[in-house]
Amino acid sequence: MNAHTTITPFRIDIPQKALDDLEARLARTRWAAIPPGRDDRTDFSRGIPQPYLRELVEHWRDGFDWRAQEAALNAFPQLLTEIDGQTFHAVHVASPNPDATPLLLCHGWPGSFVEYRHLIPLLTEDFHVVVPSPPGFGFSTPLSSTGWEVGRTAEAYGEIMTRLGYDRFVAHGSDLGSGIVSQLASAHPERVIATHLACEQRLLGLVGVIFPMPDGLTPEEQSELAPLSAEAASERGYLEMQNHKPDTIGAALADSPVGQLAWIAEKFKTRGDRHPTPSDSVDRDDLLANVSLYWFTNSGESSAQFYYEAAHSGMPPAMGAPVPAGWVVFDAHPLVRRVMDPLQMIGRWTEFAEGGHFPALEAPELLARDIRDFVRSLG
């Protein structure tokens, strides 16, 4: 890491011309012809259905108040700092309790620091909360160079905590944030007090793809795993595009706000809890605030580049860091622990029937309670 350690306070201030441009682009949307039989707004079998997408676009154009969202997000103190030539954005909310534990929250894709907007106030009594954005995400743009993958990002996150004065801290993550957390704890167990990871049953679809297939699965367990793997396989199109062709999908995401909205909102359905539409899982304005952040920062393509760098880094997922670990599983399935913790080595394992891939938005009270209880259990 470089010796330049300046931390600059930051406030979101999207130029009005960017808002006007977004409104004009939404008004000029050229819609595809709706295929026969695709008029059900809850039918996501072929991707996001146009009737539902049109509802989101109409609200984004005529009902959504970005300035109100901007003001609410600016209630959280934010900063910019440069590491290895890359600008990093982070939220940093210090607890009124000076003895609070530093807590690093690591989001993934298609999330952002917006994902934690309802979680942060539930944690600050006990934690100094830090939420950085990975290179190419949100205000951690533009990308300064290639080579920003999980390991390098983990080192940068550790440097951010150092610059904020936190020598030791707890780290929580979900999605690719879990990989960053695990890598950071593996590389620096002397600094990471404990790791806390959130996931949901769709993680089972990555068994044999990213995570190893455990030995000794019974025929019954194999039969349960098969449809879950098939379901997840149908959702890996975005992963293959971002892992291998980010420039191609990036061109569409940079030019079309409706394309960016569809690309993200569909994942809030297939990864979220099992409601008819994403708007039934998370607040519609939270969803659109997250998508707006991707649009205004032009980070649809640059966040996809992170996937490419990670996929081509040759770095296997970090597993089993030598620090206390807690896992919380939303939309739980018994096979998750059987697959991810076959020897039951993880110290704390919690399962909830509700929630999904975005628990900080879907079930923030449950997630906050589990983080708090886990850290308190460490003594």
Q: What are the helix (H) ranges across the chain? A: 16-27, 50-62, 66-73, 120-123, 150-163, 176-187, 219-233, 237-244, 246-255, 257-270, 278-281, 284-296, 299-311, 334-340, 359-362, 364-377
Residue from 52, 128, 175, 331 carrying the catalytic annotation:
175
Check if 331 is active-site: no
Check if 307 is active-site: yes
Distance separating alpha carbons of residues 9 and 218, to the nearest angstrom: 55
Residue from 307, 331, 333, 370 carrying the catalytic annotation:
307
Residue from 89, 92, 128, 357 carrying the catalytic annotation:
357
Structure tokens at 247: 């420039």
Distance separating alpha carbons of residues 41 and 276, to the nearest angstrom: 9
Residue 163 phi, psi dihedral angles, 5° rounding: -65, -25
Check if 370 is active-site: no
For 262-284, b where at least 16 C-beta lie within 10 A, e where not — what string? bbbbbbbbbbbbeeebbbebbeb
Indicate which residues carry an active-site annotation. Answer: 175, 307, 357
